[in-house]
Amino acid sequence: MAEQHKESTNTAAASDGLPAAVAPRKKGNVRFAFAFAILASMTSILLGYDIGVMSGAALFIKEDLKISDVEVEVLLGILNLYSLFGSFAAGRTSDWIGRRLTIILAAVIFFVGALMMGFSVNYPMLMAGRFVAGIGVGYALMIAPVYTAEVSPASSRGFLTSFPEVFINLGILLGYVSNYAFSHLSLKLGWRLMLGVGAAPSVVLALMVLGLPESPRWLVMKGRLADARAVLDKTSDTPEEAALRLADIKEAAGIPADADGDVVAVAKRAGGEKRVWKELILSPPPGVRRVLLSALGIHFFQQASGIDSVVLYSPRVFQSAGITDKNKLLGTTCAVGATKTLFILVATFTLDRFGRRPLLLTSTGGMLVSLVGLGAGLTVIGHHPVGTTIPWAIGVCIASILGVVAFFSIGLGPITWVYSSEIFPLHLRALGCALGVGLNRVTSGVISMTFLSLSKGITIGGSFFLYAGIASLAWVFFFTYLPETRGRTLEQMGELFGIPNMAGDSYKEQQSPEKEKNSVEMSSTATGDVRNE
């Protein structure tokens, strides 16, 4: 059944003169998928708000609590490491209670953390609040793109799966605005309100998400075919696509094609969780290894190229560039947030039109140029006496910072979450995405907690030259290793990366030799098509 659907889809694509494996579907009515993706992705606003608000609040926290630069670094960056616990727990939780309830859990945990930070009276209590909030952020980072990818039709998956990054940017902007709005209050009250207000969106989010349906892929994994069919009917472009998606998911889950009851039994895989770890980490097949390295690589380079240093420490960077007035500092920082939010919309509306690779390469190349410009401007300012104003160099620094966040937002920011959430086989997706988020947060934490010390060691301009060097390595990796995934269903990713099927070894053993041979041939053909592009 799945093969017949695929054949008809590929034939229609070929008639349009497009490669069958990557032909984008004609967009139809995606209003339900759009609404579901919006609600799920709003979870990401929690991380964005924390990043934005802490960049300005740190100035007042340092003054009020009398903490050192090292303690500021730890305070800002430690949330990324704390979020590791949440991201890995989310993988197990989302497979256990479902994607929808996991989103609600993320909002509840962040709510508690935000209140703890808002009522903090000393540094240890503030760090405890950061720990709890970090758990919530880890849950949100892992589950939002996974749910959105699983509920989206292939024709709009790039558009819809970029929403988490849109809300991260919106959260950053709201955090910057909160800094500016509460900066005029007393020292003791201002920063506490900045942090405590973050609890409000999580309450609204938890209530709104109650109306979400469950992910169709999770429902199929639990054997609830009728419920999955109902969600797919609402979120697919056509009834034919809904049937195709259901057939593909059933095949990937190891459910026979002729099993059409409302609820069916799903055989547990031999070895269970141990098999997943073995296939993904300990001894992955070549195709799975490439998927894993692709996901880990894009997550690493997203953070290692220094975006958190620009966003979290933008007030410090502007201070180094010669802007010292706090109102001007926070106002200029708001411009950074507005630019980041505006340009994320470019990626949102072009991901499914231009594809992942063109935007990713353009984004990384633009960041490279902007980081070099920022490093050069700060180096020139640093070589002049303190208090000397160099207008052209200040202008270069401001333009370069805006360039970094703009180019990051059109590609590397959103595509990281889109790409990593769509390439893993179904049975490896939760753990694979959790590993990607884990590496993302570790790298972000290292960058955040070393920036001030790095700036003192090799100068602030030298720090951005270092990030530019990492961005150049990222461009080479993306160009040589990452294939285009535009227009493919999630289950077709196995063909693209050389995985004969998306169900795992236990299901593969049940295939006939002839079908396995055909799957390998399809994999080779699809891979060749992408390389020829």
What is the structure's pLDDT at 501? 58
Question: What is the tens place of the pLDDT at every residue in 106-117?
Answer: 889 989 999 999
User: Average of pLDDT values for 504-524?
Assistant: 41
The 3-state secondary structure of 489-507, one letter per residue: CHHHHHHHHCCCCCCCHHH
Q: Is residue 298 predicted with pLDDT exceeding 90?
A: yes
Q: Is residue 486 predicted with pLDDT exceeding 90?
A: no
Question: What is the tens place of the pLDDT at every residue in 403-454?
Answer: 999 999 898 988 888 888 788 887 787 788 878 888 988 898 899 888 888 9
The more confidently predicted of residues 193 and 493 is 193
The pLDDT mean for the chain works out to 79
Query: In the chain, what's the furthest Cα-to-Cα distance?
Result: 78
Which of 23-27, 237-241, 485-489 is modeled with the greatest confidence?
237-241
Question: What is the tens place of the pLDDT at every residue in 135-144?
Answer: 988 888 778 8
Residue listed under structure tokens 């001030």: 452
Instruction: Give the contacts of 246 (CB within 8 A, at least 6 positions apart).
Output: 216, 220, 225, 228, 229, 232
What is the structure's pLDDT at 268? 65
User: Average of pLDDT values for 142-160?
Assistant: 77
DSSP designation for 281: I
Kindly state the helix (H) or strand (E) to which residue 136 belongs, with its residue range: helix 123-151
The more confidently predicted of residues 113 and 393 is 113
Q: Is residue 254 predicted with pLDDT exceeding 90?
A: no
Which pLDDT band holds residue 471 (cuts at 50, 70, 90)? very high
The Cα angle at residue 368 between residues 362 and 373, in degrees rounded to 5: 125
pTM (predicted TM-score):
0.70
The more confidently predicted of residues 302 and 517 is 302
What is the structure's pLDDT at 506? 42
Residue listed under structure tokens 């009515």: 29
What is the structure's pLDDT at 527? 35
Phi then psi for 397, rounded to 5 degrees? -65, -45
Among 461, 294, 458, which Cα is nearest to 375's?
461
Instruction: Give the contacts of 302 (CB within 8 A, at least 6 positions apart).
Output: 412, 413, 416, 440, 443
What is the structure's pLDDT at 17? 40
User: Average of pLDDT values for 175-183?
Assistant: 86
Phi then psi for 10, rounded to 5 degrees? -65, -35
What is the structure's pLDDT at 367? 96
Q: Are 210 and 36 in contact (CB under 8 A)?
A: no
Neighbours of 517 (CB within 10 A): 12
Evaluated on CA atoms 383, 384, 389, 392, the torsion sign reads negative
Question: What is the tens place of the pLDDT at every residue in 38-47?
Answer: 888 888 888 8
Question: What is the tens place of the pLDDT at every residue in 275-286?
Answer: 778 888 888 888
Distances (CA, A) of 410 to 115, 222, 309, 341, 342: 33, 37, 18, 10, 9
Residue 294 to residue 455: CA distance in whole angstroms: 31
